[in-house]
A and B are shown apart, each in its own frame.
Chain A
Amino acid sequence: MDLAYSAEYESFRGEVKKFLSSSWPLQGAEAKLPGDQKAALFRGRAIDAGYLARAVPVRYGGSEQAPDVLKGQIIREEFFRARAPGDLAGIGPSMLVPTLLEKGTEWQKEKFIGPTIRGEVVWCQGYSEPGSGSDLASLQTRAQIVGDEWVINGQKIWTSGAHIADYMFCLCRTERDAPKHAGISYLLLSMKQPGIEVRPLRQMTGAADFNEVFFTDARTPADWIVGKRGEGWIVSRTTLKHERNMIGDAANTVMMFGGLVELAKRALRDGRPAIQDPSVRQRLAQLEGYVRSHQYSGYRQLTKAAKAQEPGRIGLMNKLVSTNLGQEMAKIALDLVGDDGLLEPAERRLGAPRENGQWIGQFLWSLGSAVAGGTANIQRNVIGERGLGLPRDAAAQRS
């Protein structure tokens, strides 16, 4: 056990720092560009330097570096410290790109990957349907070949960012007579066409980040399919695996805990800082046990990944652990903000600090993470069945 990085990695860290100190923030005329242009300019340079899009081959616009989990971690740490733009988040770079790299055809990779990692095009994900949530494979949106095009009819729901997306990757039923899972294909399609209608869904936070998407004879070329017909379910599993990794990141949790401790120092109880209250101290210290467990479990998974070892069943637990932690922090925060819990996140009166509103927002959002990307109860099924080897649910076995 050695929590320090070796000399080789520290020297790599030095190179990253040197690059950052001369490249971010932008200087001179470039500093006056709009924010997204500055970020795009910087990302291009960071790709050229080999620090971003590391898993993407050069011919598709990436920097094609040898896989090295520790270097990836050092880059994230240093970019975060310098507040420099890192690899684009979002569903396109984090989910579609790895899927295309693994299962896409040559022309698909050439056409889509570069613009996606540069943020020139935005994707949304068409998976869930009103009748197909946890039982996703029961989905009913149909696609049929007519001439040299797929013609798509049906409805998707909970589609984050559909209102701003250029493209969708979408699961559709294409094989009418095939068994449930084998009748699905993974299609790519343009969102900018008359056969698509996007209606916003307002969530309990008040904002509308996701949508319903209606397809009425929407079209996409016949070869905009990833994998073969009927292989869509398997192709989509590649993608979900990546989403789980994305949500399970322990660093966010550690940072949020730090924020919660600051809130407890600032919030008052009976005129004294809440953190002096014995019950608050107990709750925070108890929570810290979980936060640190998650953090060290992340260190261990990082170590295993660096040695090209599988994480084991702990890998199935990250999302649920991080969801549980987010909810517990939100509950403590709601107690700490006191009367400000009566107000909407954006409302501020009597000098209530803006952070209080953010915690109220987090209190609402923490429920979203218990549902998005596989509900907490589905996660428990997965842990029980794939992790502990328990028999599958009798009802699920039948379908």
Chain B
Amino acid sequence: MNFDLTEEQDLLQETVRQFAANECPPGRVRAIFDGDQGHDPALWKGLLELGLGAIAVPDEYGGAGLELLDLALASEVLGAGAVPGPFLGHSLAGLALLYAGSDAQKKSWLPKLASGEAIGTVAFAEGEGRWQPEDWTIAGGATLSGVKAHVPFGAHADLYVVGTRGGGLALVERGARGFEVEPLAGIDRTRRLSELRFADTPCEALPGGPAAAARVRDAGLVLLAADAFGGAARLLEMSVEYAKTRQQFGITIGSFQGLKHQLANMAVEVEPARGLYWYAAHALDHLPAESERSAALAKAHLTQVYMQVARDAVEAHGGIGFTWECDVQIYFKRAMFDRAFLGAPAAHRERAAALAGW
């Protein structure tokens, strides 16, 4: 019985934390947030050099050969730093290839994703809350026709894993025939979105797609839950820090019980919930019977906590918290992303209820 991280896992988090502190401090986050691209190739290259392009991919394909929990731990730290970039979609594209790809597909693409020679992403959403494999309607085959919404860094990706009817997964390459990418004004400018349009676009199915699509989705739910935990924990720290420095009526505002209790309530929402994403990540690799439901509950819970804590953090910062220049708004928008991407909390709670046989 050991429900804690190993020394290696602590070290992994510390390494990414140090990197983010040095290479992506709040000023850099703001600059990228306000920039045209939402993506900084030098920053992304640094993350790839740390191995973050393929943590959970076996070393024979150029990955670090670790587990989903390790990938989620990295996601938590990137969430805490609000680090912009294609980590989420790139990780999921790699996992899709790993879980569902043929040997040739894995050999051809995984090393490129690991090294950063190619950026990967996933195209699942079809609008109106349709994110799940059973919701996908675009017919698979030799070519694809149709529209996919809300694709992270669709404008920067080289390889797209597209969800098709019946829970299939298909690869489309950048520049393929009849393939258009239209950037969207996404609310979270650290994770830019695009809409994809396919018209008889050549594609290549991943043979294990229908069997593995749900697992890819579940991995995505866990990464979002981990990001949400990291972001919420950071917002709590920022709010506590502000309450310790800001003075009114001649004393530090953190000594006022009204604010103190609000901060205590935030801490009680955030701190105990860490294990929820740890457990769900662990379950994906080790407890298959529980993994789908654990991922659904973790995503629903942690992204809702993140959203509420983000609202509380704006209040705790007072007027400055409502400004564009305050970092809280960047986390607030990441919370909005985490909450909605791959389906809202209510959708996953209903799935969890059904999976329990309720």
> Which chain A residues have a beta carbon within 8 Å of chain B's beta carbons?
1-6, 9, 70, 73, 261, 264-265, 275-276, 278, 281-282, 284-286, 288-290, 292-297, 299-300, 302-304, 306-307, 313-314, 317, 320-321, 324, 377, 379-381, 383-385, 387-394
In angstroms, how far is the closest chain A Cβ from the Cβ of B92? Answer: 22
Nearest A-chain residue to B350, judged by Cβ: A281
In this complex, the member of A276, A296, A393, A394 whose beta carbon has the largest number of chain B beta carbons within 10 angstroms is A296
Q: 19 additional contacts, CB 8 Å, given A1-B5, A285-B349, A390-B240?
A: A1-B3, A2-B2, A3-B282, A285-B352, A286-B301, A288-B352, A292-B275, A292-B279, A293-B276, A317-B267, A377-B257, A380-B261, A384-B254, A384-B264, A389-B244, A390-B254, A391-B244, A391-B251, A394-B251
CA–CA, A276 and B353, complex, Å? 9
Which of A276, A304, A380 interacts with B265 by CB under 8 Å?
A380
In angstroms, how far is the closest chain B Cβ from the Cβ of A287? Answer: 10
Q: Does B317 contact A (CB under 8 A)?
A: no
Once A296-B278, A394-B251 are accepted as A-B contacts, the answer to whether A289 and B240 lie under 8 Å apart by CB is no
CA–CA, A381 and B351, complex, Å? 38
Q: Is the CB of B260 within 8 A of A385?
A: yes
Quick one: CB contact mask for B309-352 with A, threshold 8 Å, 1 for yes?
Answer: 00000000000000000000000000000000000011001101
Q: Does B47 contact A (CB under 8 A)?
A: no
Contacts of B271 in A (CB 8 A): 297, 313-314, 317
Q: Is the CB of A296 within 8 A of B257?
A: no
CA–CA, A314 and B5, complex, Å? 16
Q: Is the CB of B353 within 8 A of A380?
A: no
Q: Does B272 contact A (CB under 8 A)?
A: yes
CA–CA, A1 and B243, complex, Å? 36
In angstroms, how far is the closest chain A Cβ from the Cβ of B272? Answer: 4
Q: Does B268 contact A (CB under 8 A)?
A: yes
CA–CA, A164 and B264, complex, Å? 38
Q: Is the CB of B264 within 8 A of A380?
A: yes
Q: Does B274 contact A (CB under 8 A)?
A: yes
Q: Is the CB of A289 within 8 A of B278?
A: no
Nearest A-chain residue to B300, judged by Cβ: A289
In angstroms, how far is the closest chain A Cβ from the Cβ of B263? Answer: 6
Once A284-B353, A303-B4, A317-B267 are accepted as A-B contacts, the answer to whether A377 and B255 lie under 8 Å apart by CB is no
Q: Does B252 contact A (CB under 8 A)?
A: yes
Which of A1, A9, A282, A385 interacts with B350 by CB under 8 Å?
A282
Which of A289, A321, A390 interacts with B276 by CB under 8 Å?
A289
Could you list some 20 contacts between A and B, CB below 8 A?
A1-B2, A1-B6, A3-B282, A278-B350, A281-B350, A282-B353, A285-B352, A289-B301, A295-B275, A297-B271, A297-B272, A299-B3, A303-B2, A317-B268, A380-B265, A384-B264, A388-B240, A389-B244, A390-B263, A391-B251
CA–CA, A267 and B292, complex, Å? 28
Q: Is the CB of A302 within 8 A of B1?
A: yes
Q: Is the CB of A394 within 8 A of B255?
A: yes
Q: Does B69 contact A (CB under 8 A)?
A: yes
In angstroms, how far is the closest chain B Cβ from the Cβ of A127? Answer: 23
Contacts of A9 in B (CB 8 A): 1
Nearest A-chain residue to B6, judged by Cβ: A1
In angstroms, how far is the closest chain A Cβ from the Cβ of B304? Answer: 8
Q: Is the CB of B267 within 8 A of A3?
A: no
Once A2-B1, A304-B4, A380-B260 are accepted as A-B contacts, the answer to whether A281 and B275 lie under 8 Å apart by CB is no
CA–CA, A249 and B261, complex, Å? 23
